[in-house]
Amino acid sequence: MGGAQRNARKQKQKQTQAAKAVAAARGTSNDRAKVIVGVIVVVVLAAAVVGGVLYQKNKANQRAEATIAPKHVAAANYPVRVDNGTVLAGKEDAKITVDLYEDFLCPVCGQFEKRDGDKIQQQLNAGTVKFRYHIIDLLNDRSNPPGYSQAAGNAALCAAEGGKFPDYHLSLYDAQPQEGGRGYDNVQLGGLGKALGMGDAFTNCVNSGKYSGQVQQQYDAASSNPALQQDTGQGGKAFGTPTVAVNGKTLNWSDPNWLDNLVKTGTAG
Per rule CB under 8 A, is residue 232 in the interface with another protein? yes
Note whether 53 binds another protein by CB under 8 A: yes
Using CB under 8 A as the binding rule, whether residue 62 contacts another protein is answered as no
Given 6, 9, 10, 59, the residue binding another protein (CB under 8 A): 59
- The alpha carbons of the chain give a radius of gyration, in whole angstroms, of 33
* Residues 168 and 129: beta-carbon distance below 8 Å: no
d(CA 60, CA 146): 13
152: helix, coil or strand? helix
Cα–Cα distance between 102 and 74 in angstroms, integer? 22
Nearer to another protein, 98 or 105 (CB): 105
**Candidate list 1, 4, 44, 74; residue touching another protein; CB under 8 A:** 44
Which range of residues in 105-113, 174-182, 188-196, 217-225 is near another protein by CB under 8 A?
Answer: 174-182
**Nearest distance, CB of residue 54 and another protein, angstroms:** 9
Distances in Å between the Cα of 157 and the Cα atoms of 55, 167, 230 are: 35, 12, 26
Count of alpha carbons within 13 angstroms of residue 56, beta-carbon side: 10
Site string for another protein, 68-107 (x = CB under 8 A): ----------------------------------------
**64 counts as binding another protein under rule CB under 8 A:** no
